[in-house]
Amino acid sequence: MNAYQDIYKNWQNNPYEFWLKAANAIDWSKSPKVALDPESGVYGRWFPDATGNTCYNCIDRHIAAGRGDQAAIIYDSPVTNHKSTYSYNQLFDEVTALATAIQDLGVKRGDRVIIYMPMIPQAAFAMLACARIGAIHSVVFGGFAPKELATRIDDAKPNLILSASCGIEPSRTIAYKPLLDEAIELAAHKPDSCVIFQRPECEATLDKDRDHNWRSVILATKAAGARSDYAELPATDPLYILYTSGTTGEPKGVVRDNGGHMVALQWSMGNIYNTHPGEVYWAASDVGWVVGHSYIVYGPLLQGATTVLFEGKPVGTPDAGTFWRIIEEYKVSTLFTAPTALRAIKKEDPNGVHLERYDISSLKALFLAGERADPDTIQWAEENLKVPVIDNWWQTETGWPIASNPMGIEKLPIKYGSPCLAMPGYEVQVLAEDGSQLGANELGAICIKLPLPPGCLPTLWNKDDRFQDSYLSAFPGYYETADAGFIDEDGYISIMARTDDIINVAGHRLSTGGMEEVLSAHPDVAECAVLGIADRLKGQIPIGFIILKDGTEKSALQVEGECVQLIRQKIGAVAALKMIMRVERLPKTRSGKILRGTIRKIADGADWSMPATIDDPAIFEEISAVLRARKILE
Ligand code: COA
Ligand code: AMP
């Protein structure tokens, strides 16, 4: 452990020097002399005196260094049978043309641009084009329903929305344009214009005043020969806003700044992911999630690596060998995905038969994040892939791993069930409710001592107070991760549960409180509760309980079905709430709090004890009977 420990201690002893040194890996317009200004922002701002541009660092400097013909983005789409590769030179052409086009549409530095797109290269071009001119992008996952998109439009207030005519799921083609139109209709804020990438699988009808055809706009810009130069931006300027589920109500607009983000991501590419310029890195995720932002787009491109953008699923497109085909075909050296993807493969191909068809010898390591990596899945992957399988723990808010096995520094011993040790920049502590530090192996709230390192959120979009209240107020001087867990005697961190209402469904972060809000709005629902239960494939899935209003004329079955549809309409199919059960009563404390935690334990078949504060213990038997009837409980 010496190499890691030396580096971690070096950071602890000289945090500012550590990050100023790391900042040398970035090509700045004006290099930083100051690492952190502790007085500005909510808890300080990184590299306050520096200027530069993220897009320049992702593209131009690699071309200047002779990588122009190297593949920058490989697009592989088994759902459309399409493959293409963009070299750094071609990426430059696409991004500069789009940057010029959006400037021509009136977008300026600091303006917001929403990107609502499927997994096609144009989504990455859009992010980089915004970065080039200093517009702040906000990518909204394509699986979210119009209402979710509308909430984000109202919070970010974009001048422009970049979208595509459709997304393609294995089971169906999803026309995006009607969803976009409905979202704009629902939102109070109206964007000036939309640019739509037409896909042949389902072309969209464009509004002649508001909408523009992506291809026509790009062709015209290229024909005019205009090329947007990159903007010299303060390192503290926001690069993007990424909305993530918060505790009930509005999603949280996580802000990422330009400078700290570049420094942290580039550091992580070499030191954590052991990926170097020219190597092929594949994060099998979606650009709508933080993994997609950090490790499909920005991380690999900052590092001068090749990134794979995959429009497909681990199974069914066409089979459970797809991942191995991609590794062979593009000589992928590092794969990053969510444990749920491996569980899906393992379920279909437990003996790894598909692996025999492919040569995956280019693969150096598999990284897993987004949810707890269960030891069974890790061991299965180790045995079948014959490479180190590395769990890493982080969040949308941090943007890069809080804890990992730093493969570029040294491979530390693996302890199954733990994402290993804290990375430099993060002083992780487990705190009791009163804020005191807990000892080894004691379960508590996992917190990070302030300041957070470069790359982590400096605040929430336009909501410093909410940032302070949600993350910094419970434990003064610390950032509260909302994960509970413990640290063992060797410093290994274990993440056990969320302390809020967030659940993790197939690596997707969702709020059960948000789902309850939707169910409560059904005219026949008097009361409801949604909670996450363990699921073999997706890690967790939500289940819902509803109490019907007196005098409801509809049958329970009908209301349950309508509630399932309501969640799909208001949040999106990705919420995966398919089991809604009518009950007569919900178990509550005497003060009226629904005992969701105990219901979850019962549904999971875990040990549970009768809460002392319960108003009527018989309700648990009623709930158990319903769970048995639905075969959730044996
Ligand atoms: N646009 C529209 N709909 C989408 C969507 C998108 N981008 N992504 C998912 N959906 C829909 C799916 O079609 C599905 O709809 P259905 O209920 O009508 O079938 C629903 O949302 C749930 O999707 P998903 O969670 O993907 O489940 P699945 O059963 O289709 O596939 C897995 C299961 C495990 C294969 C899949 O979840 C997976 O590949 N997960 C990888 C996890 C991942 O990338 N996480 C990101 C963080 S690293
Ligand atoms: P997201 O913001 O969508 O990346 O989700 C972050 C949350 O996912 C974390 O707060 C954890 O609850 C969970 N999570 C992410 N990675 C891991 C991991 N490696 N182990 C356990 N939980 C994880």
Q: Kindly tell me if the per-residue pLDDT of 117 is higher than 70.
A: yes
The set of protein residues with a Cβ atom below 6 angstroms from ligand 2 is 244, 290, 369-373, 391-393, 395-396, 419, 481, 483, 495, 498, 504, 509
| 48-77 confidence digits (pLDDT tens) | 999 999 999 999 999 999 999 999 999 999
Alpha-carbon distances, residue 200 vs 78, 115, 220, 287 (angstroms): 15, 20, 20, 21
For residues 371-396, b (16+ Cβ closer than 10 Å) or e, as one string?
bbbbeebbebbeebbebbbbbbbbbb
Which residue, 57, 55, 33, is CA-closest to 46? Answer: 33
Residue 79: inside a domain: no
Residue from 378, 395, 446 to probe ligand 2 pocket by mutation (most atoms less than 8 Å from CB): 395
Q: Kindly tell me if the per-residue pLDDT of 563 is higher than 70.
A: yes
Residue 405 near residue 390, CB atoms below 8 Å: yes
Angstrom distance (rounded) from CA 156 to CA 23: 30
pLDDT score, position 131: 98
For residue 467, the CA-to-ligand 2 centroid distance in Å is: 19
For residue 167, the CA-to-ligand 1 centroid distance in Å is: 12
pLDDT score, position 523: 96
- Tell me if 146 CB under 6 Å of ligand 1: no
| pLDDT band at residue 245 using 50, 70 and 90 as cut-offs | confident
**Measuring from atom 5 of ligand 2, which residue has the nearest CA?**
395
Rounded to 5°, the CA angle 142-309-326 comes to 130
Residue 485 near residue 446, CB atoms below 8 Å: yes
Residue 528: inside a domain: yes
For residue 345, the CA-to-ligand 2 centroid distance in Å is: 21
Domain of residue 527, residue span: 507-629
Please give the mean pLDDT across all residues of the chain: 96
Residue 11: inside a domain: no
pLDDT score, position 460: 98
The CATH number linked to 513 is 3.30.300.30
Residue 527: inside a domain: yes
Residue 161: inside a domain: no
H or E element at residue 497: strand 493-498
| 274-322 confidence digits (pLDDT tens) | 999 999 999 999 999 999 999 999 999 999 999 999 999 999 999 999 9
pLDDT score, position 248: 62
Alpha-carbon distances, residue 92 vs 128, 571, 625 (angstroms): 10, 36, 61
DSSP 208: T
Q: Kindly tell me if the per-residue pLDDT of 479 is higher than 70.
A: yes
pLDDT score, position 615: 81
pLDDT score, position 79: 97
| Structural tokens at position 563 | 């509630």
Ligand that lies nearest to the alpha carbon of residue 295, given by its number in the listed order: 1
Residue 582: inside a domain: yes
Q: Stretch 439-466: mean pLDDT, rounded?
A: 97
| 482-513 confidence digits (pLDDT tens) | 999 999 999 999 999 999 999 999 989 999 99
Using DSSP's 3-state secondary structure scheme, residue 516 falls into helix
| pLDDT band at residue 1 using 50, 70 and 90 as cut-offs | low
Sign of the CA dihedral with 342 first, then 346, 352, and 357 last: negative
**Measuring from atom 8 of ligand 1, which residue has the nearest CA?**
143
pLDDT score, position 249: 64
For residue 167, the ligand 1 atom closest to its alpha carbon is: 1
For residue 290, the ligand 1 atom closest to its alpha carbon is: 47
Residue 242: inside a domain: no
Number of domains in the chain: 1
| 501-560 confidence digits (pLDDT tens) | 999 999 899 999 999 999 999 999 999 999 999 999 999 999 999 999 999 999 999 999
pTM of the model: 0.96
- Tell me if 485 CB under 6 Å of ligand 1: no
Phi, psi of 168 (to 5 degrees): -125, 115
| Structural tokens at position 450 | 């302030």
Q: Stretch 419-441: mean pLDDT, rounded?
A: 97
Residue 467: inside a domain: no
**Measuring from atom 44 of ligand 1, which residue has the nearest CA?**
285
- Which parts of 267-343 are beta strand (E)? 280-283, 306-310, 334-337
- Tell me if 174 CB under 6 Å of ligand 1: yes
